Amino acid sequence: MLEHVSVRADGRTAAAWQITMQRGELFAQPSLYVDERRYRPGDGKQPGTFHISRAVTGIRFEWQQPGGAHSVRIAYRLALVGTAYTDVVDLRVPVWERDWPVPVRKLTAVLKLPRLPQGRMILWIEPQSRQAAITRSTDQIRMQARDIPARSPLILHTVLPRNVLTSFDGVNQETKPGLAAILDARRNDNRDRWPWVLAAGTVLGLTAVVVLFRTARSRRLQRR
């Protein structure tokens, strides 16, 4: 996971960023850059350090954000995020977290896949009241959304053919078909928009890495 956020703060501010995780998911190899300066692991209170702690629903980054306009880049690895069934892989990617305290002007999420899928792909946005555009190219699926309110989460839900993965070490596994149950749950959710369905003949590419480019403006970053 690679996340870019453009932030404006009124001065040096105690900043926090939370990564939502489900039970059983694994977190490793965190890093944080402000502009091109790499922060080192530490207490998050000294300039140039960041701190990792357990949050209510996942993992929390903490650091001192300098005043003015800066680019923040957060990277980490997640494992056991999705579930591989005998027919499909079910993957819910949180592309924006609910703890961000100000509106987001523009959000772009890019999903890359390890190989071209042989079969259809089904994608939708949660919550579906949000407006988002999805496009595709040879090696990625791109989602763009604008004007996301403060504290409003956004999830890209993807159902991929099982053959899109080159390895199943990083996902949960179920020895049964999953597509019918996933679609039944989707229909019973009382949402009014249907998923995007991408046919096998379309040129898609890769999964394993999700790159999120975010642009946000804030008067202050979230305080601890």
pTM of this prediction exceeds 0.95: no
**Domain range spanning residue 31?**
2-216
The string of pLDDT tens digits covering residues 172-200 is 899 999 999 999 988 877 444 434 444 33
The answer to the question of residue 75 being in a domain is yes
The string of pLDDT tens digits covering residues 118-171 is 888 888 888 877 778 888 776 678 888 888 888 888 888 889 899 888 888 778
Tally of domains in the chain = 1
The answer to the question of residue 23 being in a domain is yes
Cα–Cα distance between 26 and 155 in angstroms, integer?
19
The answer to the question of residue 223 being in a domain is no
Cα–Cα distance between 219 and 217 in angstroms, integer?
7
The answer to the question of residue 222 being in a domain is no
